[in-house]
Amino acid sequence: GAGVSQSPSNKVTEKGKDVELRCDPISGHTALYWYRQRLGQGLEFLIYFQGNSAPDKSGLPSDRFSAERTGESVSTLTIQRTQQEDSAVYLCASSSRLSSGYTFGSGTRLTVV
Amino acid sequence: QKEVEQDPGPLSVPEGAIVSLNCTYSNSAFQYFMWYRQYSRKGPELLMYTYSSGNKEDGRFTAQVDKSSKYISLFIRDSQPSDSATYLCAMSASGGSNYKLTFGKGTLLTVNP
C-alpha cells in the first residue's frame, strides 16, 4: 500500500479484556516498529522487527504485551488483561533503512474503561 | 533527568514569523537526529534527518545539531498556518540499536493567519 495502515483506528475496551491491534506496513519495508504515545508523553519504543531476525522486545512494558510479525508482512500487537494505564495511541511504523526515517501509521487510539 | 528534553509549549506565532524549536539531550552516544511533524490524530511524519553535527536545510526548514552542547534546533522560516502541528525531536545512537528512537514530548505550534 501507499502508507502504513493500522486498524482499528479507535478501540474502547473494558478493563481486563484482551485487545489485538493490527499494522500493515509499506510493501518492501523490512523493518517494523511499534511505539506507544501516552497523553503528554513522548513516544515510547515497544518492539522492533527486522526481516526474519529475532525481534527486539526490550520496550514491552510487561508480559501482558506481545507482538508477532510473519516475514515482512502484517504485524499484530496484543495486550492481554488490559489496564487503564494501557490507554494510549499505539503507533506502528516501517522503514527500509534508518537514513530514510520511519513512516508512521495514524495509530490506534486505545481507551480502557 | 530525561534523555531528551523538549519544551512542550504551546507556542503561538503570527503567519510569516520565524519559529525556533529546540531539544536538549543527555546521551552523548546519540548520533542520528530527526524532526517529525504530527498533526492532530495523525502519525508523525519525518521532516528532517541529520547525522552527527552540522546544519541541514530543506525549503523553509533548517535543522541544526550542536553535539558539543547536546542541543538540536529546527527553524521554520515564513511560517504558515499549515505548519500548525506538534513538532517532535527524535534521536538514536549509532551501532546495533540505531533503529531505537528516543523522542521528546513534542512542542505544540500554532501559526495564526
Residues B57-74 have pLDDT tens digits of 999 999 999 999 999 999
d(CA B49, CA A98): 10
More confidently predicted of A27 and B111 = B111
Highest mean pLDDT out of A51-60, A71-80, B78-87: B78-87
Cα–Cα distance for residue pair A32/A68, rounded to 1 Å: 11
pLDDT band, very low/low/confident/very high, at B8 (cuts 50, 70, 90): confident
Q: How many CA atoms lie within 13 A of A47 on its CB side?
A: 21
Query: A99 falls in which pLDDT band (50, 70, 90)?
Result: low
C-alpha cell at A64: 501482558
Q: Which of the given ranges, A47-51, A108-112, B92-96, has the highest pLDDT on average? A: A108-112
Which candidate in A7, A38, A102 is best for mutational testing of the B interface (most B CBs within 10 A)? A102
The minimum CA-CA distance between A1 and chain B, rounded to whole Å, is 16
SS3 of residue A80 by DSSP: coil
The confidence score (pLDDT) of residue B97 equals: 76
With pLDDT > 90 as the criterion, what percentage of chain A qualifies? Answer: 76
